[in-house]
Amino acid sequence: MNEDSDLDEIREKKMEEMKEKLGSGGNGGNSSQSDPIKLNSSNFETVINENNLVVVDAWAEWCGPCKMMDPVIEELAEEYSDISVGKLNVDDNQEIAAKFGIRSIPTLLFFKNGELVDRSTGALPKDQLKPKFEELKSS
């Protein structure tokens, strides 16, 4: 096999694994996993559309405030297991970042039933983000 077909095969396998995880969480179409989902151009739309509640953390490797937010996002993903949390590297997924007008990072995008309903920009403490997660659940 050549390198491209190997990559395609790996991508397909990963997509199938992700679909199985997403489809098996018996919570109204939300993943029951607490670890954030690594989002990219091949799974972004699927994750957003197949889960009722999704929070996307837009970040980059070089971003200091993004690194500070990492443990906060992981804690919130664990506490709010009924909300699917994904991480989107904006350097690797510039088309998605442009589509949602992400000009500063970290940015959190809040989706309900596939629709963007809220966003937050900048490194915020957990106590300022929890109300946004609560609002997403109750809206």
What is the domain extent for residue 89?
34-138
| Per-residue model confidence (pLDDT) at position 16 | 63
Grade residue 15 by pLDDT with cuts at 50, 70 and 90.
low
| Domain membership flag for residue 2 | no
**For 18-62, how does the pLDDT look when each residue is reduced to its tens digit (9 = 90+)?**
545 443 333 334 444 568 999 999 999 999 999 999 999 999 999
Whole-model pTM: value is 0.76
Percentage with pLDDT > 90 across the chain: 74
Give catalytic status of residue 62 as yes or no. no
Catalytic residue (one of 63, 88, 90, 129): 63
Give pLDDT, residue 25.
38
In a domain, 27, yes or no: no
SS3 state of residue 63 = coil
Find the CATH number of the domain harbouring 52.
Answer: 3.40.30.10
- Within a domain: residue 24? no
Residue 66 annotated among the catalytic residues of the structure: yes
